[in-house]
Amino acid sequence: MNEKKLDKILILSVWEDIWALDEGCGVPDELLFIKGLVSSGVDIHYMRPSTGNPKPGNKIKSVHEYGYPNIFRRLSFLPGPALRFALSLLLPGLIYPRIRKIAGEVEPDLILGFSHHSVQPVSKAGRDLDIPTAVKLFGVMHLGREDENILSYYYHNFDQINSLRFPVDHYLVLNDGTMGRKALLGRSIPEKKITYLQNGMHLEWADREVNRDRVRETFGLPTDKALIITLSRFVKSKRIGHLLRAASLLDDKILNRVLIVIAGDGPRKQNLVRMAKSMGLEHKVIFTGAVPYEEVPDLFKTCDIFVGTNQLSNMTMPPCEALLCGLPVVAYDVAGTGEVIKEGETGLLAENGNIRELADKIGLLVDNKKLRERISENASRFSRGYFIDWKERIRLEIETLNNISGGNQA
């Protein structure tokens, strides 16, 4: 067996920032991964879109950085499908000359791309320079959704389908509930070329003690209400408006006992604020803004119910972290959500898009404290045994990259 260790890596990122939201907010997957590489002594060369105003915390020590023209920002005026089509046509030609030049100069042991947008230039550069290649997919969106009709399926996936025509040596796929392994196998990618990775978690959050009243005071939350929380980036696929509509369907006796906490930020925030006001919910809803990641467990542990309305999967990081913190989760049963949110055990499931059922499940948990407490205990216990900590996740990831760079594809 070839025991060659990964010494030098070239990473192609399609995101200009490491954190998804404001400084310190969002899941630090990329940051922890890169820090893990640094700790392992890997020489990192990192390409990402240029930005004239980088966010604090995005400069990584011990990493050689390279920019390329920020076509994502230049084309951001386009509607979603048009943007995806334009990127699939223009991005490979824009990036390929740059990544090939840098790879030729750096001579890395491995070229790694982030997301399906990176597949084509990574594939071509690796093939031309005879360098092993891999792509890390942080989920596959609609690609694993066999429940969609064929026209809807290709409408949502044409850019991913096209990108996967260009082969790389290995695919690292995060299990975010979008069924990435199944999706890649369905595109005829050999199983031996796929490493399916569990999302990393801060398992110590399960044992974190918090003063609920003090945390509520910090966030400006009442101490006499049951808190129903959701946390995400405010974009269309998260469907936060469904939570507001479900709240409007709650019986007045239940609604008067709760406060809806909508944590996060994003381009649809003002739409959501207007929606809450139009429904007469402005005094029943609080928008916290972006929450620093280190404060997430405190916020979760002072709340009572988490609600997931994601169109793609409710096995993403916030619902999973809520389970770890002992929060019962009410969520739409979409894609792989049922892998972690088990009906009556770790949460309650509603039919995808059924707002009436979502409201009923929320109301049931608010009204039944014993059920809520039992599910809370189950959720925390399940999470401790099911998830892996970040240290182990990053170790598995780096071990996989070592094997790829060393020529081991078994």
**Residue whose C-alpha is closest to residue 15's, from 91, 82, 123, 96:** 91
HSE (side-chain half, CA atoms, 13 Å) at 77: 1
Q: What is the pLDDT of residue 21?
A: 46
Q: Which tokens in the block code for residue 119?
A: 């597949």
Run of H or E residues at 166: none
Cβ neighbours of residue 214 closer than 8 Å, sequence gap 6 or more: none
Name the nearest CA neighbour of 305 among 377, 228, 201.
228
| Burial status of residue 267 (CB atoms within 10 A of its CB: 0-12, 13-18, 19 or more) | exposed
pLDDT of residue 16: 83
Domain range 204-386, CATH architecture:
3-Layer(aba) Sandwich (3.40)
Which of 144, 158, 141 is closest to 236 using CA atoms?
A: 141
* pLDDT tens string 167-202: 999 999 999 999 999 999 999 999 999 999 988 999
Instruction: Look up tokens 């949110």; give the residue.
Output: 341
pLDDT value of position 24: 55
Question: Percentage of the chain surpassing pLDDT 90?
Answer: 83
Give the Cα separation of 124 and 341 in Å (integer): 40
Bridge partners of residue 207, in order along the sequence: none
Find all residues with CB under 8 Å of 290, minimum gap 6, and list them.
Answer: 21, 22, 25, 264, 265
Helix or strand holding residue 193 (H, E): none
**Distance set, CA 322 to CA 150, 282, 299, 326, 401 (Å):** 35, 25, 10, 6, 30
Mean pLDDT of all residues in 33-50: 92
State pLDDT tens for residues 342-396: 999 999 999 999 999 999 999 999 999 999 999 999 999 999 999 999 999 999 9
Would you tell me how many other CB atoms lie within 10 Å of the CB of residue 60? 17
For residue 323, give Cα distances in angstroms to 133, 307, 327, 385: 35, 11, 5, 12
Confidence of residue 280 (pLDDT cuts 50, 70, 90): very high
User: Given pLDDT bands bounded at 50, 70 and 90, which one contains residue 20?
Assistant: very low
pLDDT for position 58: 58
Pick 8-199+389-405's CATH classification: 3.40.50.2000, 3.20.20.70, 2.60.40.740, 3.30.70.1290: 3.40.50.2000
What is the three-class DSSP state of 64?
A: strand
Residue 55 has pLDDT above 80, yes or no: no
- pLDDT tops 70 at residue 25: no
Instruction: Report, as an integer, the average pLDDT of 65-73.
Output: 92
Fill in the DSSP letter of residue 208.
-
2 pLDDT more than 50: no
204-386 shares the fold of 8-199+389-405: yes
Give the 3-state secondary structure percentages of the chain, helix then strand then coil, rounded to 5.
45, 20, 35
Q: What is the arithmetic mean of pLDDT over 128-156?
A: 92
pLDDT in tens, 120-131: 999 999 999 999
Q: What is the pLDDT of residue 410?
A: 44
Identify which has the larger pLDDT, 81 or 163. Answer: 163
Query: Average of pLDDT values for 293-314?
Result: 95
Does residue 19 have a pLDDT over 60? no
**How far apart are alpha carbons 301 and 143 in whole angstroms?**
34
d(CA 350, CA 334): 9
> In which region does residue 266 sit, left (phi positive, over 0), alpha (psi from -120 to 50) or beta (all else)?
left
Lowest mean pLDDT among 55-69, 199-213, 264-278: 55-69
Mean pLDDT for the stretch of residues 303-317? 95
The owner of tokens 């499908």 is 81
pLDDT surpasses 70 at 4: no
What percentage of the chain reaches a pLDDT higher than 70? 94
pLDDT band at residue 147 under the 50/70/90 scheme: confident
Interatomic CA distance for residues 230 and 209, integer angstroms = 21
What are the residue ranges spanned by the domains of the chain? 8-199+389-405, 204-386
> Residue 269's Cα: distance from chain center in Å?
19
